[in-house]
Structure 1
Amino acid sequence: MPVPEVLSGVLAWAVPAVIVFGATAIAVVVAVWAIRRARRSPRARAAADNLRARAGAALVTLDDAVDELDLEVGLSGALYGGGAPASLRRARLTAQHVRDASFEEYRQIAERDATPDEIRRVSTRIERRSAEALATISAARAEHSGWVHANVSAAAQIAAAQQRLAALRATMGDPAALVAELSSRFAEDEWTDASRAARAAVDHADEAARHLASAARTAEDPTRTALVELAEAERALRRAEVEARALEETHRLATQAAQAVTGEIAAARTALRQAFATRDQLEPADAARLGSELRALEAELTSLEADAAQRPTRTIDRVARLRDRLDLALGDARTAQQRLRGARTALPGTLAAARNAVAHAEASLGHVRASADARSRLISAQRELAAARQMQDPVDALDAARRAMRDAEDAKALADYDRLAGR
């Protein structure tokens, strides 16, 4: 057969096939593109965000249940000497693990540009795991409640709670004396939180005493149950303990800041002098830009020094932020040795500022039923602060402490928004 005829036959078969397969490939590509576009559309994003909101609500419910469970586990050990079923402790460990892992997943899909599919998948998993953990908690609490009814009298529970209240009052001492000490040394904005915590601790302790007295009267009547009043007393006791710790933490932070503030300012001035020396080694244009920022930082440091003794925690916080700005201004102009030396001197003050920021965030979240976003930010801040304390490399530790500050500030802002929104 002549070659042209063969070629003609091949073409006659191949061309239609190529057209068919090419059209199919184009259709497949278009279909895939359309599916992906639909999955990333505003409508898909809105649906995914709704699922994420549901997952956040489930996480908040689980977090509150874990807090209640912590109280019950503590009470079980204090009241019943470890004789109660271990199911509560096992349920708490399981729920804590689920909660912590879920908050981390929730934070990740919130912070990065996750696709609607990923948000949907993770949110569904969080909601399912939260529901399973809550079911485990409910079963454990039911088992524990049955054991308590069968083995412990209301009178014994009331007596044990009264002992805890007496121990709490002894530990608290005179909260007003701590506030008076702070108010005699520092400006009002340094001890306002301490004053509020002191009043709240005393009020909650008095509330617990009233509920316990009512429970004791109810327990004398065999036809009535004292468990409701006893439960309210325990909640008030726990709130009093939280406020007492907040008071102690505020007092500790203020007194420690007062001891450290002079050294932090001196270290910042030393860092500025070294930065001016680094500036002298730069090209004229870079030196001019850096010099302008350094003079601004120097002026700010001088203004902070004016009332540092009256506002030590605020000053420590501002100096830590000033050191952060100084690092950004210097950029790559420093040697590795200079960065290491600067991190070592900046770390103590930044850690103190981070602890203060976390304490403020914890207080804000403690007075509102905060959203999952606020809680996840607080957990991240607590984790970063713990990591900063353990790191051996001062540069890495400084970075972690600064991340803790930012996350704590975000958590407080979100909690404040939740409060204003009436949650």
Structure 2
Amino acid sequence: MGGQAFAAHFPTPRMSLAIYKHVLTQTQTILRTYYTNVSSAIEGPGKTTYGDVDVLVAGLLPHAFPPGISVAEKLKQALHAKACIQDKGNPTINFAVPWPREYEEAQIDGLESKAQIDTEDGLESKTQIPDNGTEEENKYVQVDVHISHGDLWNILGTTIRPYGLTVNNHGLYIRIPEIEMVERKKSMVFLTDDPVRVLDFLGLDEEKWWRRFGSQEEMFEYAGTCRMVWVKEEVDVVEGEGEEKGEKGEEKEKKKLKHNDRRRLAQRPIFKAWFEDFVPRCLKEGKYDIPRTTREQILTDAFEKFGIQEEYNTKLKEWSYTRHIDELTRDAIKNTIPVDGVDGQLRAAAIRILKGVILEGEKFEGKIPDAAEKDESGFYDLEVVKRFVGENWEEAGRVGMGRQLVRAREAMVKKAEKRKKEEELGDGIE
């Protein structure tokens, strides 16, 4: 706002280069305790005075903003600001930060902020300003914190999702399809939390990212440079949701959205404009209608750029093995043994014995059965296991019951011996 956001309430004179650098450095230091990336645009050459301090932030640090307190209020406290302004839906927050004491006497003649803001509509409704009147005896610096492209990240997040990528406050992840279908969170493999590497992987220009966009259209065109942007006619099944094919334009794109995306569509005007204005226009103009990459290619690129192939394959193998053992235990053993008309204790004993034979390598009738053999990947042949269980569960149950009876007798003997010793000890004390 050129340093005029608080002109009606707090004097915000223009700053010399020295004051500007001082406030900029101090502000960036504070903001780095809340965000992973803090940056400011390079000022043009020859500029000697400044109306405000602009800082661009991105990537919330974990637990930076606890529940119950807004981002604006938390940053206001951190920056020791007298007031702050944030219009609804605007990612920029204006702060009135006290003029640095080291430069209290500094004054640039004729450059004080003279602008006035019309308060007829109630500036306080969207502004945290004390009701103690103007503070003409003090000077302030307007610090504008631009929360980096929140709407753009919403657009990009929706765009990269079908390609197996997820970006959140912790970084960029790639999802393992086989795991994702069952346990989405466990499917994620970390790639990087370096903003530069994230942008590079998505095919986005880093220099343009760290500058404010001049318009919504400029931001949309920038988003279109992401190598995963593909505007297409046909509907795909996304995130396990079934959609009908054949819908056009924005309706097709909107039906692909997850629940959270649909909520954003209703609440975020820029996010909505992407789907209702920009996407239909691209379809009409034939822009971004040819896929530039595939999910398989993205995975290959991730292996090469981030060196995560071993971790990816290990995670998939371990998860697959765990699922295999669960399936073996549940389907091949437990579900193969009848329930109706079978004594519960006998059935439980059979399950224990068969799990020991197949999973732990215990002998059955003096030998290790074929059902306990694994292939080169460590997996069992479930059909062989089912057949073995079906043919031998009754005998396994009898063996289990026999062992249980032996253990019960041994426990009774030990209990009797313990009681006898206690009685003898008691007699000795008397």
Q: Structure 2 length as normaliser, TM-score?
A: 0.21
Structure number, greater radius of gyration: 2
Higher strand share: 2
Structure-1-length-normalised TM-score: 0.21
Higher helix share: 1
